[in-house]
Structure formats: structure tokens, C-alpha cells
Chains A and B, each alone.
Chain A
Amino acid sequence: MNAGTGTGVAVLEARELVKRFGEREALRGVSFEAAAGDLVAVIGPNGAGKTTLLSILAGISKPDGGEVHVPEGEVGWVPQQASLYRRLTVEENLLLFARLEKHPDPQASCEEMLELTGLAARRGEIVARLSGGNQQRINIAIGLLARPSVLLLDEPSVGLDPRQRARLWEFVVALAAERGTTVIFSTHDIQEAERYGKRLLVLADGEALFDGSTEGLRAAVRAEAPEAASQDFETAFVSFLHHRGH
């Protein structure tokens, strides 16, 4: 496994993480770290342990083994399913979480997020009436209200149409590039990971198989599954997993 790192000092570090659900091991000694401005894609088939890993990093669940070092109170978490109140308006949701985050000026923070998400014109609309894409943008904005140095996104583009997906990624990439936020997102869409992830962490059956750049993964595929090296990235990736026994 390649050990990928960002360009700076690690702001997040996970060591030998183990998580069990009964007899099943969801994570088996996963280690990785990320630096400021990193954009890390956690990829793998269903049941690989992606959501479990992000839940542990977010502090939602505790690992059965290993340790996590994250900046206290600076990890934003955006769950796969929008975590907001659908019967409140966009503005009411943002204001509520800004107040709960104890922002000195909740209204100003709310305005900032409305500007960032491009939803200022729809601030008074009930969230339930918004599209899934717009709900996800509010979901992310709520995650950003904590002004995190690390942002965890669990399959953020699920259920979005191509246009909404493009807008979402434009927004996320800008966060990493312009604000220096460390973004770690999970996806099972290989093309999406290749396109937006500056680093890839490949998980399968709870095991970290690869941690490095897209080019590094392609090189690994060429080395381990040469028969698939000339094919598209997704096919090559599946061959790589197959060669690793998954």
C-alpha cells in the first residue's frame, strides 16, 4: 500500500483502526493521514467500510481498536442522508445550527452560508420543497457552519443529477483550494473519485488496499492486473480488487 500525504502537516491521522459489528469486521487496521487542503476520495465496493471509517473520523461511533487524531471541534461532517429539518426553511435551518454552534453573530454566519451555497434567493423556502441537490447543499453548508478545518462527506453526490453533481463538486473543490479545508469524501463512483479526488484511499472488506494518487493507482493496476491496464479506469479498478482477492 502506498502512503499518500498532502502537501503540508497532517491535520488528521488515523492509526490501525478496527471496528467490529458482532462477528463481522467492518474495518481491519486502517491507517491514513491527511493534510490541510487535501481532497481525499475513499472508494470501494458496497460494504467496504467507507461510511464506518467516516463515522469514526466524525466521532459518531467509536473504534474497537486503533486511534484517531483530529483537530478538536473542527471536523465538519456531512452524512449521506441530509441531516436537517425538512419542515423548516433554508434560513431557519442555517440559523438553528449557527446558534447551536454558538456563533457570535448567527445571522451573519447564515448569510455567509446562503451566499456560499447560492441559495440566498430561496432562503425562505421550506427545505422539503427543494430538490435533493439543493438539500445536499444545505446539508454541506450546515457541516461548514462549524468552520471546520476537516470536512467529511459521505457519498455526497448520491441521488443528484449530473448538473447538480457538477455544481456540488465545484463548490467542494473550491473549499479545499481556496479555504485550505481538508476534504475527505466517500464514493463508490470510480469516475467521480478519479476526477475530484487528489488522493484515493481504496477500501475493500474493511481493509485499506491503496492510498495514493490516481496515477499511483493506475500504476498499481498496471503492475497487478496488466490484462486490464488498457481498459477504462473502472474496469481496471475492478480487476485490481479481484487480484487482491476481493
Chain B
Amino acid sequence: MRWLLLKDLQILRRSPLQAFLLVAYPVLIAVLVGFAISRSPEKPRVAFLNEVPAQSRVSVGTTELPKIGVSDRICERVECVHVKDHAEAVEEVSSGDVLAALILPADLVDNINSLSTPSPRTPKVEVIVNEEDPVKARLVNDRINSLLTQANLVIASQIAHEGGKFVGLVVHGGQFTVLGQAIQILGLGTTTRILHAVRATLAPGGLRKSLNQVLRFTALTKSNLGTAATLLTRISRPIAVDKQVVNASTPPLEVFAIAVAATFTLAFVTVLLVAGSLALEREENAFPRLTRGLVSRSALLTEKVALGVAVGLIVTLLMLAGLAIFVPLHWSRIGLWLLAIVAGGAALGTAGAALGAAAREVRAVSLLAFMVTLPVAFLSLIPSGTVGPGLYNAIKVIAAIFPFKPALDAMTAALDPAGPSIAGALLHLGILIVAYGLLARLALRRFSAV
């Protein structure tokens, strides 16, 4: 078997361009996929025109709220391209330089302030979007809605906070400043105490009876306003999130991205190499000569898988070493890395052998390997909840049949110290190695036809 391995390596060495592409292409794809997964979306560029006068402040009643800094908060979440007027905003959106334009009109604060008056107006902001394609349109809508929700929350929170202060003043009393003059507010608590004192001086019946009614009213008001104060503070965020993690094995995004990139590389190298080199035996017409007694078919399959695993191991390790420059990896777990790469490579290699035995020609095999590996790999990355349950179950079955997903699970478990045990993934890979090995062995019967 070692002589066949040597022969395949010699052939690989004789085709430097193919060997380079075999390694470079999956590494390139893997790095791109890894970055695409790991990087959060870039801040969208949004043209921003703030026509609200600088000194304008949102007020509740006669009290101005502290400066909220809505524009600063917006520009934290998007890349603001400040424009000088409405026309420039439209131009920026039309040219595609920005995703959308957000205009805060001059009367925005006045309209917000009118909400606490007898004649409230609806505060509006202007959004200009370029819906040149449906995906972009959806993205813009989601972003704008998210931004406005955030802005509304900030304002509501401030109003509720100030409103809560007023209610507290009514209930507990205190000092209140109007037009620079401090006014002492009695508060319901003090009022009750005074009324109780007054009641003690009154004779039963008559005024005392009426005072009792007032005391009941103040007690009721104090109690209800206390509840209202709590409600006001909750108004900006009425529903709190109680997050419970049911799958605590989720790895950090960087680790997952590296695992995806490494598994992509391993999958393409092993599947293409094993399938291609097996098909080459047929194309070179060497298969019948080899299997006339020189090498058994099972030994030939084993040699091809070993070739794929060996080359896949080297390329994947080199790739991990390269990525380790950017993201810290736990080199102490290299034993598990090797286990994951060898088991994953063996399963992917046997799948490649089955493809190679089925297709029989190198070109057809290469095409088939891409047609199978690429979509299955992408299907394996679809998270639950992003598609319908029926479709997701179908995807889960497909992903479980092809070795990419268990190889990814094994790689993730090997890379993530806080992750789950690698045993489950290894068992899955072991089953697939046996299944694809049998399939490849059966396909070789047809392969040997002269």
C-alpha cells in the first residue's frame, strides 16, 4: 500500500497547479466562510440630517428633560454621513452611496412636547430609502425600524423617569422649581398627617365625618399613585427578557468560525483528492491490472482514504496554525484536533471514495464532488429557527448523512475547551466511515468492468 501512496504523491507532485488549486481553493473558501460567519455586519452608511434646533429640549409639562442625545445614539449604531439639506440626502440615497437617509425635521421636538398638551401632534421623522432590490429593501426597513425603536425607547424612558419624579413629589412631597423659584410641595403623606391632627380636634359628626372621607381619599390616592410610579418606570421597557440558555455548548463565534473554515478545507481536500485519485486509476486503465492480485480492492480504497487523510491533515493543521496568529487557539488540545481531523478526514475520504467509484472519470468526479460537498456544507450551517420545522428536519437528515456536519461538530468540540465531548461526533463519523466504505466497495464492482 505504501508504494501506491508514494505513486499518488508523485502524481500529485507532477501536477503542481492542480495540487496548488486543490489546497488554495478550499483554503480561500474556508477563510471567506470563516470571516463571513465570525464578523458582525458592518455599520450601514446612513445619510443623516438633523434640522432640530440645537437648543430644543423635550419637556414634560413645564420641565425640560435632560439632553437625550438621540443623534449621537443613532450615529453609534450606523455610520452617519452628515448632509446639509434634504436634496443632498436624496442624492446620496439615489447614488447608492448610503443605504438610506434619516431626517429629523425642525419641528420634531415641538411635536414631541405637544404630546403632553391638550392638542397633541404626531412627531415624525423622514426616511428616504432606495429599494433597488428586495433584499436591500428588507435590510433597510429592518435597520430603520430598529433605529426608531431605539430612539422611541430612549425618549419614553426619559419621559417615564421625569413623570415618576412628579408622581413621587405628589406622594412624598418635596421641592419643585418653577421659573427659577423653588416651591415646597406638601405631598400626600404630610397632608394625611396634618389632616389626622386636625381631625383629632374636631367633634364627632359634621366636619369630622367629611374629613374622614378626605382621609380615605388621600390614602387611596397615595396607594394608587405609588403603583403608578412603579408603572411609569416600567413603561419604557414593559417586558423584561429572562434568557435561559438550553444549549450551553454553543462555542464562541470565533471558535465556530475557525471550525467551519477548517472543516471546509478538510472536506474539499479529502473528498476531491480521494474521489479524483480513485477515478484516475480507472481513467489510466490501471485498476484491473492492480486488482488482478497486486492489491485488493479494500486495500486500494484504504490507500486512497489514507492519502486524503494525510494531505487533509497537513493542510488543515497549516490552516489552523495560520488562523492561530489572529485568534488564540488552545494548542494544548492538539491531540483532540488531530483526532477530529483524522476521524473527519476518514469519513469525508470514504464518502469521496464512494463518489469516485460511482463517477469513474476524474472530471466528472471533480464536478460531482463540488456539487455534493458545497451545498451539503452550506446546508449544515443553517441554524434552527431560520427555516420552517419540516424543511429544517429534512436539512438535518441530509446533514447527518454526509460527513461534513459531524466533522464540524468534532472540530468544534476539539477547538472549544468549554464545548461538549467529542465522543458523539466521533461515533457518528465512525458509523459514516463504515457505511461509505461499504458503499464504495460495492461501487467498485461496477468500476472494474473492462
Name A's B-contacting residues (CB within 8 A). 51, 55, 58-61, 73, 77, 79, 81-88, 92, 96-97, 99-101, 126, 142
Contacts and interface: CB of A to CB of B under 8 A. Distances in A.
A96 B14 CA distance: 16
Contact of B284 (A60, A73, A86, A99): A86
Nearest to B281: A85
A83 B289 contact: yes
B10 interface: yes
Contacts of A96: 3-4, 6-7
B3 A85 contact: no
B303 to A, nearest CB: 11
A84 B292 CA distance: 14
Main secondary structure, interface of A, reads loop
A97 B294 contact: yes
B300 to A, nearest CB: 11
B285 interface: yes
B450 A101 contact: no
A49 to B, nearest CB: 13
B215 to A, nearest CB: 104
B7 A51 contact: no
A58 B11 CA distance: 28
B450 A100 contact: no
Nearest to B291: A60
Chain A to chain B: the 6 pairs with minimum beta-carbon distance, closest first:
A100-B294, A83-B289, A83-B285, A99-B3, A87-B14, A81-B285
B20 to A, nearest CB: 16
Contacts of B14: 87-88, 126
Contact of B15 (A58, A87, A99, A101): A87
Given A85-B7, A87-B14, A101 B294 contact: yes
B288 interface: yes
Interface string B6-45: 1100110011000000000000000000000000000000
B195 interface: no
Contacts of A59: 292-293
Q: Which of B4, B6, B15, B450 has the most CB of A within 10 A?
A: B450
A99 B295 CA distance: 11
A100 B3 CA distance: 7
Contacts of A55: 450
